Structure 1
Amino acid sequence: MKKPMLITIICLLVFFGAIVAFKKFIFHEEKKISMQFKNPVVTISAMPAVSTEWGSTIDVVGSTRTVKGVNVTTELAGMIVEIDFTPGANVKKGDVLVRLDIAPDIAKLHELQAQASLDKITYNRDKVQYSFGAVSKEQLDTDYANMQSTAASVEEQKATIDKKIIRAPFTGKLGISAVNPGQFIDSGATVVNLETLDPIYVDFYLPQQEIPKAVVGAVVQVTTDRLPGKTFTGKITTINPIVNTDVRNVEVEATLPNTQEILLPGMFTNVSFSVDKPKTYITLPVMAVTFNPYGSLVYVLKKTNQQHNGKIVWKAEQQFVETGVTRGNQIAVLKGIKEGDVVVTSGQLKLKNGSFVVIDNTVMPSDNPNPVVKER
């Protein structure tokens, strides 16, 4: 009786002991797995913070404008009989562009010249007769007035004919023709546009508080999307003496040489000019900084004694920073880190304060202060 009961008790103890041992094993494995997920080793890219010397500049946008540019028009109406220019060609001041029909005006000129010749003969004859008392002084004065009047009419008719020969008002480059032979054009109608491309103006606006930093003669650097990577250099030539009351900005004009005629009127440009001596900043790629409503932060790495797959394991610590201006893909860090601090540049979304990481710089974010847009 006692022996079967003892066997039963022993079996129960073994059974419950096995259950407790299994539970302990499961708990241990779960704890082990939990520790693995609590501090996994994350792969990121990183680089040390470096000191960079930046000049203090003002960067604005502007637009180009010709030094001289007009729509060539006709002062008088008439029929076009001849077009003497090629659209897009370079012309010199005084070159004939268009001739209007002047046949009626030439006939009128001949009539006036004949009348002027007659009036001159009449005056000279009466002048001789006046010396003998054959005509009155009044008649001689009338003859003189008639002679002067017809001479003036001749000059007026010559000016009318000259106005119907349309010439280039200055040296420059022509645009697209707006007229055709045989076309009748009214007074003031556009014939073609004419632009002087070298040099060329760049107009831009500055806030009124920045005006003391802009001085006539200051060197400006201008870039445009038409020729990425090329910088045009010019100088500030005029500062408007009046402030725009709508936006409180002041217009500034810079003049640039444009011998290759790359810059065209109306083009969008980026304008930059130095205002102070260069300063030294701690810089990082913009991608290294995490911007939040409560502040900007970076992950600073501290080396540990551990290794993972043959690579040194680092510990990431959050560090709030104060950032300054950006230049291209770089950003200046004013407070929070020092030169030489190793900072995470990509992979921040996988991190938290105290995460362990290894560095793999196979792929790095751009750290170029003057990136160039590449066309696909």
Structure 2
Amino acid sequence: MNKRAILLVAAGLLIFGAIFAVKYLQVRASMAARAMTAPPPPTVSTATAQRETWSVQLHAVSTLRSAQGIVVSNEVAGVVASIEFESGQSVAAGAGLIVLDDSIERAQLAGLEASLRLASISLARAEELRTQGSNPQAELDAARATRDQAAAAVNEVHARLAKKHIAAAFAGRLGLRRVSLGEYLAAGSEIVQLESLDPIYADFGLPQQELARVKPGMDVAISIDARPGRTFHGTIEAIDPKVSTDTMNLRIRARVANPDHLLSPGMFASVDVALPESLAVLSIPATALAHSPYGDYVYLVEHTSAGTVVQQRFVKAGPRRGDQVAILDGLTEGAEVVSTGQMKLRNGIPVRINNAVLPDNNPAPAPVEG
């Protein structure tokens, strides 16, 4: 009985060992097969570093302001009798905005106009009598003075009436209404903001050493975050003759056409002044430039007998123009660099190039109209 049990145990161990050996060999074979099957190389697009000539530009920041902008207010006190505008409305110069109650002035005007008519009749009679020698010159002079005083009183009331009718001083766009019908307004109360929007001004500063390079009439390009992809063009209109003692900068004003009212006063803008100079640069697509704590770098493509590989190359980047960036050091003309797909790369790995779809590479991209 003991011998039989021993044989059964031995047989079981042999079977278990055989199964373990088979599985071990299968796992080893699978691991070897996976090791021999390398993952496909990452796919990238590439671009060539090109020698180009760029115009020289000066960069500045600006806050846009209207050519004319005021808070409309009343010169005389009164109760709002009529409101003749809507918030946000565009108005022409002279358009009526509000009317203050003028009933007292109109009543005064009626009485004064009657007095003026009577004074005019008296003057005409005095002139006729004077021609006949029936009255002294003093009476004629008194009648003329009375008529003139009556006319002046009428004109005064007309002036007071005009001040009760508040109108737009210039064409522009109104802001939010700040008064209500029937409200009593003290003199100088704020009624509504009025801003002229076309043209619009971009005031900016440049270092004083640029004075000799910047002249009125030079072209400027304006861009704002609120209008991505759009560039607005204008010209330098004036340069302040005095340098700011706070910043030591020149104050410069550019005039920018704004027929569609896409720009608004108070917007923060980026300004580029085009100078009549040129700069030879080595340019690549801005998408090819990557960043690290150690500096800017690109992946340089190398075609070897073993295949296509990439090498990390640190470079010194310069100014940007649209979709391009200038490389000041680290690349040579004609060098092929990875333009998209850098996130999956590391130094020395093979890659597959597919340039069917390339990133934008335009130094002056045009806006896409929606």
The TM tier, using the shorter chain, reads 0.7 to 0.9
Q: CA deviation at 1:80?
A: 0.9
| Equivalent position of 2:22 in the other structure | none
Q: Is the 8 A contact 2:206 2:249 kept in 1?
A: yes
- Which residue number corresponds to residue 6 of structure 2? none
Q: 1:200/1:247 Cα in 2 relative to 1: closer, same or farther (>3 Å)?
A: same
Deviations 1:145-168 (A, max 9, x none): 222112111111111111111112
Letter in 1 for 2:350: V
- Matches of 1:213 and 1:59 in 2, distance apart? 13
Correspondence for 1:334 among 320, 328, 337 = 328
Assess, with a 3 A threshold, how the Cα gap between structure 1 residues 192 and 251 changes in structure 2: closer, same or farther: same
2 CA distance for matches of 1:319 and 1:181? 71
Structure 1 residue 277, shift from structure 2 partner:
3.9
Aligned to 2:20: none
Summarize the alignment of residues 119-268 of structure 1 with structure 2, pairs less than 5 Å apart: 119-128=119-128, 136-268=136-268
CA distance in 2, matches of 1:298, 1:165: 68
Shift of 1:133: 6.5
Q: CA deviation at 1:195?
A: 1.8
Partner letter of residue 351 of structure 2? Answer: I
| 1:4-19 paired onto structure 2 within 5 Å | none
Separation of aligned partners in 2, 1:109 and 1:45:
85
- Alignment-derived partner of residue 34 in structure 2: none
Query: 2: CA distance between counterparts of 1:203 and 1:184?
Result: 38
Counterpart of 1:97 in structure 2 is 97
Moved more, 235-244 or 43-52: 43-52
Q: Structure 1 residues 290 and 129 mapped into 2: Cα distance closer, same or farther (>3 Å)? A: closer
In 1, Cα distance between the equivalents of 2:176 and 2:309?
66
Q: 1:138 to 1:323 in 2, by over 3 A?
A: same
AA at the equivalent of 1:340: G
Q: CA deviation at 1:135?
A: 5.0
Once residues 166 and 59 of structure 1 are traced to their aligned partners in structure 2, the CA distance between those partners, rounded to angstroms, is: 43
Aligned equivalents of 1:305 and 1:244: distance in 2? 63
Match of residue 358 from structure 1:
350
**Amino acid of the structure 2 residue aligned with 1:171:** A
Tell me the TM-score normalised to structure 1 length.
0.72
CA distance in 1, matches of 2:305, 2:132: 133
Return the offset for 1:47.
5.0
Q: Distance in 2 between matches of 1:371 and 1:347?
A: 25
Change in CA separation of 1:291 and 1:336 when aligned onto 2, cut-off 3 Å = same
Query: Is contact 1:91–1:172 with CA below 8 Å preserved after alignment?
Result: yes
241-250 or 328-337, larger mean C-alpha shift: 328-337
Alpha-carbon distance in structure 2 between the residues aligned to 1:276 and 1:127: 76
CA RMSD for the aligned pairs? Answer: 3.7
- 67-76 vs 96-105, which moves further: 67-76
Q: How far apart are 1:343 and its partner, in Å?
A: 5.4
**Contact in 1 for aligned 2:65/2:266 (Cα 8 Å):** yes
Range with greater deviation from structure 2 (202-211 or 113-122): 113-122
Partner of 1:325: 319
In structure 2, the partner of 1:51 is: 50
1:322/1:194 Cα in 2 relative to 1: closer, same or farther (>3 Å)?
Answer: closer
2:289–2:296 Cα contact (<8 Å) kept: no
For the Cα contact (< 8 Å) 1:222–1:269, is it kept in 2? yes
Q: Deviations over 1:185-230 (max 9, x none)?
A: 1112122122221222222211111232222222211112222111
CA distance in 2, matches of 1:47, 1:321: 17
Does 246-255 or 333-342 show the bigger shift? Answer: 333-342
CA separation of 1:348 and 1:56: change in aligned 2, threshold 3 A? farther
* One-letter amino acid of the counterpart of residue 50, structure 2: S
Matched-pair contact (CA < 8 Å) for 1:80–1:183: yes
Q: What is the distance in 2 between the residues matched to 1:120 and 1:315?
A: 102
Determine the C-alpha separation between the residues in 1 that align with 2:364 and 2:127: 86
Structure 2 length-normalised TM: 0.73
Q: Write the distance in 2 (CA, Å) between the matches of 1:259 and 1:344.
A: 42
> More deviation in 272-281 or 95-104?
272-281
Unaligned runs of at least 5 residues, structure 1: 1-41, 307-311
- Go from structure 1 to structure 2 and tell me whether the alpha carbon gap of 1:46 and 1:94 turns closer, same or farther (over 3 Å shift): closer
Structure 2: gaps (5+ residues): 1-40
TM superposition shift of 1:324: 3.2
Aligned residues: 323
Partner Cα distance (1:344, 1:127) in 2: 101
Q: How far off its partner does 1:321 sit?
A: 5.2
Rounded to whole Å, the distance in 2 between the matches of 1:175 and 1:344 is: 51
Task: Map 1:357-376 to 2 at 5 A.
Answer: 357-359=349-351
Kept in 2, the 8 Å contact 1:322–1:336? The answer is: yes
CA contact (8 A) 2:45 2:358 kept: no
AA in 2 matched with 1:106: R
Instruction: Tell whether the 8 Å contact from 1:208 to 1:248 is kept in structure 2 after alignment.
Output: yes
Contact 1:288 1:343 in 2 (8 A): no
Query: Contact between 1:130 and 1:137, CA under 8 Å: does it hold in 2?
Result: yes
